[in-house]
Amino acid sequence: MADRILAGRYRLVRPLGQGGMGEVWEARDEALGRPVAVKVISMLAGGGSTADEARARFLREARITAALQHPHIVTVHDVGTAVTAEGSTPFLVMELLRGEGLDAAVRRGPVDGVEAARWGGQVCEALAEAHAAGVLHRDIKPANLFVTASGRVKVLDFGIARAADASATDGRLTRTGLVIGTAAYMAPEQARGYPEQSSDLYALGCVLFELRTGRLPFTAPDTLGFLTAHLNDAPPVPSSVAPGLSPAWDSLILRLLAKAPGDRYGSATELGEVLRELEGQAVPATPLPAPRPGHPPTVVEPEAAPAAPVPLDAAVTVTAAQHSTPEAGGRPELSRRGLLLGGAGFAAVATAGIAAGVYLGADPGHDAFAWSHGLGERREGWDQPILSGTRCFIPAHDGAAFQAFELADGKHLWKRDLDLEWPLSGNSEAAAIDDGDTVLALVQLPQDRIAMLYVLDGATGKTRWKRELYDEDDYSLHVLDRSGLVLFGNGDPNRQTVTAFDARTGKERWTQQFDDSGTIEGIGDMALVGSKALDGATGKQLWDRPGMNLYTELGQRISAPQRTDDAVLFHDKVTKRRVDLVLLGARTGKEKWRVPLSEVTTVAPGSLEEEDPPAAPLSGTTLLLPRLKGERSRPTAIDVRTGKEKWTFKGGAPTGDRAPEPVSTPDGFVLPTRDGVVCLNADDGTERWRTEGGADLDIASAGAYTMVRHTRTARLFQHRQTVRVLRSADGRTLWKGEFTASIGKSAPLAAGRVLAFLDPQETLRAIRLTG
């Protein structure tokens, strides 16, 4: 192949490396008269699915690497296709690097602190650039880190990188369940099929351990041994392997090798800053040994290490354990036997440069998570997260405990356990206002059932103030978020007292008494007490509609009202089986319009269960009413200001009793149909986009983003949950994945380009959306 010219321009001079997928050649760009490196994927000359997959991986590498312009990432000059005697073969043209791979430096023994910190810091700069673009490398190891003759590190081989933006990789290109990486450097969550940005930092921690000590943190005879160790074993303290290492190095490396991603450094940028500090404190560096005389310029291809490369289609396959989430906390350890006897989900890994196949998690694969945090085990688990501003607060079911996070970067702000109980077992009474600056929790003392209001600082979790309420019968938290007031009332059936406190300071703002009782509810800047509406700021009564059945008795669970610009939407239970939707003037209580909403299921006397009326989502000034047997056979949109019909959806209704309710987006509605999901424009009902669905369809809205989950049959007796995050405006897929179990426990929350949700394993997961 030497002296062959590709595409009439690139003359191949001599081979630099060969691996399982192909070869890297030193070449000359005849058009520009400069030396270059050309990567040719030899297996693509053949045909079949293996060649197609390798071609797709190759094109992905070219696209991703070319988009990442950075001094510490190898530069891509060109990509093309050469017609050879064997067939059509794509090739990639890169800058020609002179120096050696970091694996060569590692083979000579431990590296001093200055060089290790400098090289590690440069890798962090490259990773920060990639992560900012939504790209994970997924195979950081010495063979993929090249040290040039000038001492600059270049990160190579983005062929198995994955972009969070599906368009950056033309969708999922790996085989079903394929998780690629190198076993000796693989983070626990990546081994389980959940790679995230922190996984690259874990791999870099393994590299730094190897640089400073001369050996890997874990040793094993084969792939399964490495995976078992990464999943279960605590790494040795570096200074116990290489005496003389400073406590700072021990601390840095052990933090990077933490099993839980949230226990590592928050970002590559943060880690780079710590490494730069270490570089300044370290002993003067020993100069990097120059390449031996006659040593050719080199671009190290990651599969080039073995003397006898193993092609992907010759990979060994074994069976291993099923897992759906990456967090180590609270999980049984995975033994070698456990890995061999469990599940089915393919993962291609490499150990000591040799490709191998392992059935790992049965997870078919997904785009990367940005970050995740295991919340830890509690008896009843954790509740729906509360979003306020960019902060996320998660209360626990079984006690007054909280955790707080910044959604943008996954920073764990605080964890607080009040050592008290919620007023009603299994129901957390908590709220957050002021863009996450203030958190409120209504709890009770375990022994005497005295209600306590705790107000916490949203940034630190510290108590700002607390108050005993003594109102034994009012165990609900009512917050007027617009005015920052919290309402409480007593349970006296003959005389109702309502008090408003300033949530920020604890000062009492007003008190009102009424001769009859009624349920208290806060909505916008209004307080509703039974049939009466009060001005939230002053407590002054605005109106009273005694004939209006605004709320129902215990056990008749009618949803709370919604506030529009100058009116309030109520559910009015007209008869035992009929609920109407009514719009009242917010300041006058005057009825503007009334439409039938639904029929309610009759329940046995004394039962605490009754079916909620269906959703009537609101988007802008358009309200979508559900089907109503005999009166409204199709979903119908009305103008919320007038009650007049705007349009009717004529699509097919979903079958079965478990069809999800429609949800609203900023300017539209997402509805289930017979064959999937459709998004309609709120103003005129025109179709914006549609996507396929399946059994157990679920739709959740997070403002500008829509999450669609459904189950499909992958093989006989195998069911997988397909999850997609779509841009609500046009239906573009921003993130997707397939899982062997449900990943959704809570509704998704969105802050900027980050979407987060709580999964059934009590792990808070975040997706960074780049589209």
Q: Across residues 718-728, what is the average pLDDT?
A: 87
Residue 711's nearest CA partner among 732, 731, 741 is 741
pLDDT of residue 609: 45
Q: What percent of the chain has pLDDT over 70?
A: 75
pLDDT of residue 364: 63
Q: In which region does residue 48 sit, left (phi positive, over 0), alpha (psi from -120 to 50) or beta (all else)?
A: left
343: three-class secondary structure by DSSP: coil
Token reading at 427: 């129901």
419 pLDDT more than 90: no
Q: Across residues 715-735, what is the average pLDDT?
A: 84
Chain segment 292-345, per-residue pLDDT in tens = 333 334 343 333 333 332 222 222 222 222 333 334 344 445 555 454 444 333
248: three-class secondary structure by DSSP: helix
pLDDT of residue 301: 35
pLDDT of residue 550: 54
Residue type at 5?
I
Q: Across residues 664-686, what is the average pLDDT?
A: 93
Flag whether the pTM goes above 0.85.
no
Chain segment 563-612, per-residue pLDDT in tens = 777 888 888 877 777 788 899 898 899 999 999 887 755 444 444 445 56
Chain segment 736-768, per-residue pLDDT in tens = 888 877 888 899 999 999 999 998 888 899 998
The residue with greater pLDDT, 548 or 178, is: 548
Gap between the Cα atoms of 141 and 302, Å rounded = 9
Q: What percent of the chain has pLDDT over 90?
A: 38
Chain segment 78-103, per-residue pLDDT in tens = 888 877 666 677 888 888 988 999 99
pLDDT of residue 53: 65
Domain boundaries, the chain: 99-366
pLDDT of residue 450: 78
DSSP strand pairing (346-351 vs 181-182): parallel
pLDDT of residue 718: 62
Greatest CA separation for the chain: 99
Catalytic site positions? 139
Most confident of 20-34, 383-397, 421-435: 383-397
197: three-class secondary structure by DSSP: helix
How many whole angstroms from its chain centre is CA 661?
Answer: 24
Q: Across residues 440-451, what is the average pLDDT?
A: 80
CB 423 within 8 Å of CB 470: no
289 pLDDT more than 80: no
CB 347 within 8 Å of CB 174: no
Q: Across residues 118-122, what is the average pLDDT?
A: 96
Token reading at 95: 């800058």
Token reading at 528: 């509703």
pLDDT of residue 403: 96
CB 165 within 8 Å of CB 771: yes
Q: In Å, what is the CA distance from 141 to each residue of 144, 208, 251, 307? A: 5, 10, 21, 18
What is the pLDDT confidence band of residue 253, given thresholds at 50, 70 and 90? Answer: very high
Residue 44 DSSP class: G
The residue with greater pLDDT, 458 or 517, is: 458
pLDDT of residue 44: 45
What is the DSSP track for 544-610?
Answer: E-TT---S--TT--PPPPEE-SSEEEEEEE-SSSEEEEEEEETTT--EEEEEEEEEPPP--TT-S--
- The CATH code of domain 99-366 reads 1.10.510.10
What is the pLDDT confidence band of residue 352, given thresholds at 50, 70 and 90? Answer: very low
28: three-class secondary structure by DSSP: strand
**Going by C-beta distance under 8 Å and a sequence separation of 6 or more, which residues neighbour residue 623?**
569, 581, 616, 617, 637, 638, 639, 640
pLDDT of residue 162: 54
List the 354-359 sheet strands across, edge first.
181-182, 346-351, 354-359
Gap between the Cα atoms of 126 and 570, Å rounded = 55
Q: Across residues 62-74, what is the average pLDDT?
A: 83
The residue with greater pLDDT, 549 or 4, is: 4
Q: In Å, what is the CA distance from 165 to each residue of 180, 317, 324, 734, 738? A: 18, 30, 22, 6, 16
The residue with greater pLDDT, 629 or 425, is: 629
**Going by C-beta distance under 8 Å and a sequence separation of 6 or more, which residues neighbour residue 404?**
391, 392, 393, 394, 412, 413, 414, 415, 439, 458, 461
Residue 445's nearest CA partner among 474, 423, 416 is 423
